[in-house]
Structure 1
Amino acid sequence: MTSSRQQIRQHIRQARNALSSDQQYQASIELISQVNSLPDMASAQAIALYIATDGELDTQPLIEALWHSGKKIYLPVIHPFAKGHLLFLEYAPSSELCYNRYGIIEPRLKKEAIIPVSELDIIFTPLVAFDKYGQRLGMGGGYYDRTLAPFQGHNHGPKAVGLAHDCQQVSSLPTESWDIPLQKIVTPSRLWQWES
């Protein structure tokens, strides 16, 4: 019998939360070189990331490295009016941050900091689990699936790249019709790629 999505979420969240602070730190440093090896990174200027929570791979060292190389970083914010959708706001060292309804850190909403999703070069997405086919299992809210859906199967718009610890890989995931597979997933040890 295959595991349900909820069972997989629970199992993988426990696995990544069991990583020691040294393992988390090492993974966050190794992630920087893996991300920098992506062919799309050289030309990318507007990059969406997120602030890690619940044992996710720590993105702060990567964010700081990208700031240092002159890239602009944007973070997701839950859309205040369009239910289930995300906005992306510029994140700078001076940005004011707050907690959203899920307890996740995001920038305080400011109209002038918003970038249209279509103008992002890369969206690095969080995920709970992934499989060898590029399927991504998130927390179940569907925010990233809705964000990426308009660009699926097109050559324009942002490239979506998943970020995960190596322990978040499973052999295969149960999927739903709305799930959007990723073409690339980066872990601290390697880059996974699939054809579109």
Structure 2
Amino acid sequence: MDVHFEKEKIREAVRKELKEQSEKLKRRKSDLILGKLRRRSEFKKSMVLMFYIAAPDEVDTKPLLLEALREGREVVVPFIDRNTDSLIPVQIRDPETDLRPGSYGILEPKRDVICSFDLNRLDLVLVPGIAFDRWGHRLGRGKGYYDRFLKTLPPHVKSFGLAFDFQIFKLVPTNDFDASVDRVITNR
């Protein structure tokens, strides 16, 4: 089996589904996913959370990110450093003032709020993806940012993938570079 070819087939199929999903349905499914996440004990007890800032076709994490900030939890979001080809976790306090549009059109931390963050402080990392399977294998967009980042997490830090129902496959092809998540939460 050609893993690269299989991954591209899955990406193509999921991108088609994502494009065809209405905004209303995406919102409803995102709300269901966030509701399930809220009820998880790992989420309830987490005081330092890493959220991704959703692309237009991803599960929208913004309502829960804002809720976490209002509750006094610490919120961390990714910054993609093109110079080092790495994902850098950055703590934010106010999305309105701490974020700006990045090179992929997705909000990311402004340069003046970027400072080192101790990964040992994290409790839970929320991870986007194109596809997942029931074992937590993940297929991203192909750049490897989350794969490299997830492999650096201390053992106590949990990682949850968030996905729409059609993003769950019986088996996601993987290679040595791919990292898995601890759990996947969907609208089903």
> Which residue is equivalent to 1:24?
26
Secondary structure of the residue aligned to 1:150 is coil
- In the superposition, the TM-score normalised over structure 2's length comes to 0.87
Aligned partner letter, 2:50: A
Per-residue CA deviations over 1:123-161 (Å, capped at 9, x if unaligned) read 10110001122210001111111111133xx633x2111
CA 1:95/1:12 → structure 2, altered by over 3 Å: closer, same or farther?
Answer: same
Shift of 1:34: 0.7
1:45 aligns with 2:44: no
Aligned partner letter, 2:172: L
> Which residue is equivalent to 1:159?
158
Matches within 5 A, 1:1-196: 4-79=6-81, 81=83, 83-91=84-92, 92-111=94-113, 114-151=116-153, 155-156=155-156, 158-189=157-188
Write 1 or 2 for the structure with the bigger share of helix. Answer: 2
Shift of 1:113: 5.1
Shift of 1:6: 1.3
CA contact (8 A) 2:30 2:187 kept: yes
CA 1:110/1:36 → structure 2, altered by over 3 Å: closer, same or farther?
Answer: same
Q: How far apart in 2 are the matches of 1:43 and 1:63?
A: 15
Shift of 1:165: 0.9
Q: How far apart in 2 are the matches of 1:48 and 1:24?
A: 22
Shift of 1:31: 2.0
Secondary structure of the residue aligned to 2:169 is coil
Q: How far apart in 2 are the matches of 1:124 and 1:48?
A: 6
Post-superposition, which runs of at least 4 consecutive aligned residues in structure 1 deviate over 6 A?
none
> Which residue is equivalent to 1:194?
none
Is the deviation greater in 19-28 or in 123-132? Answer: 19-28
- In the superposition, the TM-score normalised over structure 1's length comes to 0.84
Per-residue CA deviations over 1:35-58 (Å, capped at 9, x if unaligned) read 112221222111111121141111
* Structure 1 unmatched runs, 5+: 190-196
Shift of 1:104: 2.2
Aligned partner letter, 1:155: P
CA 1:26/1:44 → structure 2, altered by over 3 Å: closer, same or farther?
Answer: same
Give the percent of matched residue pairs that are identical in Structure 1 and Structure 2: 29
* Structure 2 unmatched runs, 5+: none
CA 1:132/1:78 → structure 2, altered by over 3 Å: closer, same or farther?
Answer: same
